[in-house]
Structure 1
Amino acid sequence: MARGDQIYAMRQLMGLAGVYEHHGIDCGDGTVIHYRKLQEAVISRTDYRAFAQGTAVFTRHQPVAFIPDVVIERAESRLGERRYDLLTNNCEHFATWCKTGRSESAQLTNFGWHLDRFKTPELRQTINQVAQGNASKTSLELIQSALGNIAIAQQTIAPQSQQAQREIETWHRVAQLAVKQGRDDLARAALHRKVAAKRQQADLQSQLDQLLDLQTTLQNNQQLTQS
């Protein structure tokens, strides 16, 4: 590990050790700039031991990255920031942005947490609470609350997806009938509506898939916490 490296240590989630990576930027002087989680997450410069918390530290190698001076400058420019969000601005988003200029989190992709396009404030707040492990005694309640919010979202989106599918089929039949009647103008209009319905249905189905991924993740965590 060297100055300007993107580094990470394994952290626990809801009492389970080694569940996720906590990322930061190595300043090369025994300090690390990272999202420090106290009562409120804030980007801070801490000593190396506070970052590692007694665990091994690894380097995340990026194929294309800024030179160390630029990486440190970018990290220092955000000291004091208090805008942590698990889904859009977590510790890995921050460290990867410092290193490469891209605000990305490979962990979210690996965990199946793809909710950037489905923004339910209550659900996002609960997920952040669970991820930060604010209160181990209430972790099960938080998970259950998140699962409840997911169920409500699914109940809202599923009928919309089914309706969009019915519209696809309806406009397809309308287009076929218009062609038989020699009404190319109506056929084109119907096909245009069919394409719009297909796009809507694809977007709704994608949201349902994302919610199912998150539901599975939370249910697995719930089982682990109870065991």
Structure 2
Amino acid sequence: MILALLIAGKLLVRQGGDRPNREEKITGKQYFWRDKKEKNGYRLQQNLLDDHARILDKNNIRKATGSMSAMEEKFDRLVSDSFLKPGDVIGVSRRLYDHYGIYIGEGKVIHYADKTKDFGKDISIYETDLKGFIEGSKDYFVLHFPKEGGPPRKLRSSTNFTENPRERTGIFDFIFKAKYQLFSPEETIKRAKSRLGERAYNITRNNCEHFALWCKTGVSFSRQVDMALSI
């Protein structure tokens, strides 16, 4: 029985940082969980059998579950005044694709898009407000960059969602397997602003995801292009 739980736990960790979660009340004795942090009515708990974790609110409602690294960051965001932090790589999951940008603070985002929609005839890097960036999507996500290195994973702003689209691994994981440079929030924003007005969009070589990852890590890469080319 314990062996089966360990195997299940390892599979859980491999599925990424912020796993799909249905908010539900946790009841009964929790023998394999221990509290790691508690603040503002939230508790971060770690499973004793493996590395996965969960976040509970004051009513014992599960608000998130996933790897410990991802849950530590999501916990810190949930208990703070704002889920978003300046310098974040922010994204929204549209029906068929993800759209990316850099959050620069005060409700503003720099991204690669047309002035009225993600795609169009006049695509450039420009600054917009958060509402305009998210438009058409129920929530947004930020990229979590594990302290130990490895590929970034999505942390959704929602605590109740059935899927985390386009989290499939591939060459993206290989590219980010080694430790990479992670620019500070200030430097990330500076890099984003340095490209304002650029009109060199290319869907396979220089799209919104290439731009956002370059601002944060110096690596210009798109998981979505990798996924499309591997089909």
- TM-score tier after normalising by the smaller chain length: 0.3 to 0.5
Relative to total residues, which structure has the larger helix share, 1 or 2?
A: 1
Computing the radius of gyration over CA atoms, which structure comes out larger, 1 or 2? Answer: 1
Relative to total residues, which structure has the larger strand share, 1 or 2?
A: 2
Return the TM-score normalized by structure 1.
Answer: 0.46
